[in-house]
Amino acid sequence: MEQPRTAREAATSLTERRKAATQMDIARAAAELFTEKGAEGTTTEEIAARAGVALRTFYRYFRSKQDAVGSLLSSGGDRWRALLARAGTDMGLARALESAAVDSLSGAGGVGEEEGLRWTRGLLRAAQEDPALRAVWYRVNQESEQELLPVITRLAGPGADPLETRLLAAAATDAIRVALETWALADTEADGNDSPAELVVRCLRELTGGLRLLASGPRV
């Protein structure tokens, strides 16, 4: 079912390409409508209509209307983790996290990431007043954290405390999340705004530096 019969088909038969395109059409349609009228304010039928498919087909691609934008929101994190999984264990965890993050944001592999960032910005702004959309963001981050765990475990070596590893995965995910939220909700286009890469680096360095707020004794 997954493997093409002849090697020549590579990974993209016509059918497969059409399916991928349809999925992307639906995701974009959903993102457009969500940013325009909020997730609660748009019906699944509207998304399906704008994507040019039947309602029933929509539910063959996504389990709910919220799921439709999940892939757009998680693509950046997916790329980050993929880079991290390829990193060597010889440069230290902190450096690996940071360089993978920077690489995943600097459009190294193509132009796809810029589009993902644009959608993320719009969706996070819409999520500001849309509980259903926030729930998607929560889920995406939670899943990202969970998939980050084995990657970090490998980089930390076999002797690391599981609880410590788990907390690190959570904190690292938070750094990315807080950076993206701060960027997405910053005053629109005003000067002095940091790029997502700058913010991500700042957040990760806070962790690397050991959350200095905690280290300070009684009073500053």
Residues that bind DNA (CB under 7 A): 1, 4-6, 9, 13-15, 18-19, 22, 42-45, 52-57, 59-61, 63-66
Q: Which does residue 53 bind out of DNA, its own copies, none, counting CB within 5 to 8 angstroms by kind?
A: DNA
Contacts with its own copies in 178-197 (CB under 8 A)?
178, 182
| Rg of the chain taking only CA atoms, in angstroms | 20
Q: Tell me how far, at minimum, the Cβ of 54 lies from its own copies, in Å.
A: 25
Cα angle: 40, vertex 147, 133; to 5 degrees: 10
Binding its own copies (rule: CB under 8 A), the pick from 24, 94, 186, 197 is: 94
Q: Tell me how far, at minimum, the Cβ of 74 lies from DNA, in Å.
A: 18
CA pair distance 76, 112, nearest whole angstrom: 10
How many residues interact with its own copies (rule CB under 8 A)?
Answer: 47
DSSP string, 98-130: HHHHHHHHTT-S-SHHHHHHHHHHHHHHHHTT-
Q: Tell me how far, at minimum, the Cβ of 33 lies from its own copies, in Å.
A: 21
Say if CB 37 and CB 29 are below 8 A apart: no
Structure-token match 């919220």, residue found = 66
Contacts with its own copies in 111-140 (CB under 8 A)?
131, 134-135, 138-139
Helical residues (DSSP H) of 157-211, grouped into ranges: 162-185, 196-208
The answer to whether 214 contacts its own copies (rule: CB under 8 A) is yes
